[in-house]
Amino acid sequence: MSEKIEERDRKEDMHLIPIYIMGKEYAVPSTATILKAFEYSGYKMLLGCGCRGGICGACATVYRTEGDYRIKVGLACQTVVEEGMFLTQIPFFPANKAVYDLEKLKPTVNTILRYYPEIARCVSCNSCGKICPQDIKVMEYVNAALRGDIKKAAELSFECIMCGLCASRCPAEIVQYHIGVLARRLYARHIVPEAPDLPLRVKEIAEGAFEEEFESLTGASEEKLIQLYKDRDIEPV
């Protein structure tokens, strides 16, 4: 069987459903993710598209399903289309972000409250945790930050991919993911002891210990780089 005939048969067997992208109707495969439905409909994804595996948080999408009054959110690479879905993408969530000098900050609850005072409005509804595509305990790390437990806030928020979906659901208008970033920065800079090998490595870099190796890599061909990658040492799992 030729490739063209196989492709035709696959399309004939494909169950297409109607969805609406930016208000325009398209017929897409019922098993497609929102991201694949965009591309199936002819959209070239340059923005709002990154890793395609639920890791980078770039493809946050707002949608509504037919017969449901609620506005829903999800990652386009993870969410499967539904018949009659109305959707649009948000390249980033337009949340307020504090500006600060990390070197001048102290790892205390007062620091968190100074730059994100809205954290005190948290009602512990857990809407943020329920919507998180990474199943992060968002409400718990926000409460930890409010108590001044910077270490716990940093650890619980460590896997955050900054998609902004938690903030989109928060009735208190808290920017949870930016609070998590501040907690991790405070923890890393002011609480965790400095690695003993770090000053030595910085000194070696400043003295040019790796310049020759760096130049050999930047001057290598693509084939050479691919081979070096394949031959690299991999730590056992």
Q: Are residues 80 and 156 in the same domain?
A: no
The pLDDT tens digits for 60-114 are 888 998 888 888 888 999 899 999 999 888 777 788 899 999 999 999 999 999 9
Q: Are residues 106 and 165 in the same domain?
A: yes
Evaluate if pTM is beyond 0.85.
no
Q: Are residues 148 and 81 in the same domain?
A: no
Q: Are residues 155 and 119 in the same domain?
A: yes
Last residue of a domain, one of 89, 116, 132: 89
Q: Are residues 80 and 20 in the same domain?
A: yes
Contact 113, 119 (CB under 8 A): yes
Average pLDDT over every residue of 184-200: 92
Total number of domains in the chain? 3
Q: Are residues 118 and 63 in the same domain?
A: no
Q: Are residues 11 and 50 in the same domain?
A: yes
Domain extent, residue 156, equals: 102-191
Backbone torsion region of residue 153, taken as left when φ is above 0, otherwise alpha when ψ lies between -120 and 50, otherwise beta: alpha
| Helix-helix angle 138-147:176-186, to 10 degrees | 50
Q: Are residues 23 and 68 in the same domain?
A: yes
Q: Are residues 81 and 38 in the same domain?
A: yes
Element (H, E) at 207: none
